[in-house]
Amino acid sequence: MGGSRKSRILIAAGLLALTTAAPAAAQNGRSGEAEALETRAAALEEVGPAGFSEAASLYRKAADLRIEGDPQAVRDLMKSGKLSFYAGKRDRAIGDLVRAADMALAFGDVLSAATAYLDAGWIANEAGDGARAYALAVKGARLSQSPLIEASQRKVLEARVEGSLVS
């Protein structure tokens, strides 16, 4: 009986190792691919306006390759949103920023979520979509009151609420 139990434990441990090692190895490959896309996107960003649309697309793809909860995915989507806006793709920019905000909020990054919602609201306002701008600004403004946000950060967010900044 003791040997049988020991065998079951060893088999269970082996299965656990297999089921966790494969996704981790796959993610390492995806992370490397995401980093390569980010490097290409940064180079295109340096080209200037002609490279903004493609750079935004690469940052978006890099974000998609990241695992859930990876803060780099939020940063990639925020860059994609900014570059999409500069490339004249306002709806795409808003979508990327809202996705970044939702993702940041899901893992507790209140500052990034508030920033992304407020920037998306600013772009919606620029696009003449007042209702959407208001809804996004309200989300960002509410988050800016979180006790997780320091006073200095809150001041920056309040300036965004007033519609004066897009970073």
Model confidence pTM above 0.85: no
* Per-residue pLDDT at 14: 54
* Per-residue pLDDT at 4: 66
Q: How many CB atoms lie within 10 A of CB 162?
A: 11
CA–CA separation, 96 and 53 (whole Å): 13
Side-chain-side CA neighbours of 33 within 13 Å: the count stands at 14
Domain boundaries, the chain: 2-161
Per-residue pLDDT tens over the stretch 120-167: 999 999 999 999 999 999 999 999 999 999 999 999 998 888 763 444
* Per-residue pLDDT at 160: 81
Per-residue pLDDT tens over the stretch 48-86: 999 999 999 999 999 999 998 899 999 999 999 999 999
* Per-residue pLDDT at 22: 40
Local confidence band at 5 (pLDDT 50, 70, 90 cut-offs): low
* Per-residue pLDDT at 25: 39
Side-chain-side CA neighbours of 102 within 13 Å: the count stands at 8
Per-residue pLDDT tens over the stretch 98-121: 999 999 999 999 999 999 999 999
Q: Give yes or no for residue 91 having a pLDDT over 60.
A: yes
CA–CA separation, 113 and 7 (whole Å): 49
Which CATH architecture best describes the domain 2-161? Alpha Horseshoe (1.25)
Collapsing DSSP to helix, strand or coil, 145 comes out as coil
Number of H helices, E strands in the chain: 7, 0
Per-residue pLDDT tens over the stretch 15-45: 544 444 344 434 556 889 999 999 999 999 9
Q: How many CB atoms lie within 10 A of CB 14?
A: 10
